[in-house]
């Protein structure tokens, strides 16, 4: 009787653990940026990086030209 009772308790613990793992995985999935939205974010970040690079390059060239005069 006790062996069968222990097996039932072990199965309950395993199923509770599996349910806990599944709920944690689902909650983590909600906080991760999905790949389809990540692509749009990557394009926006690339455009912003190129724009800032152009501004910095213009600033360097302008300061060098202003020192020539």
All residues at 6 or more sequence positions from 41 whose CB lies less than 8 Å from its CB, including other chains? 33
The span from the CA of 40 to the CA of 46, in Å, is: 10
What pLDDT, in 10s, does the model give residues 32-42? 766 565 666 77
pLDDT (0 to 100) of residue 7 = 57
Average pLDDT over residues 46-58: 96
Instruction: Please state, in angstroms and rounded to a whole number, the distance separating the CA atoms of residues 40 and 34.
Output: 11
Tokens 């395993």 correspond to: 14
**What is the reported pTM?**
0.43
């Amino acid at each position: 009787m006790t062996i069968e009772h222990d097996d039932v308790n072990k199965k309950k613990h395993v199923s509770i653990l599996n349910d806990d793992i599944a709920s944690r995985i689902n909650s983590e999935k909600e906080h991760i940026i999905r790949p389809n939205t990540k692509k749009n974010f990557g394009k926006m970040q690339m455009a912003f990086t190129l724009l800032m690079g152009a501004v910095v390059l213009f600033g360097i060239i302008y300061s060098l030209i202003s020192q020539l005069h």
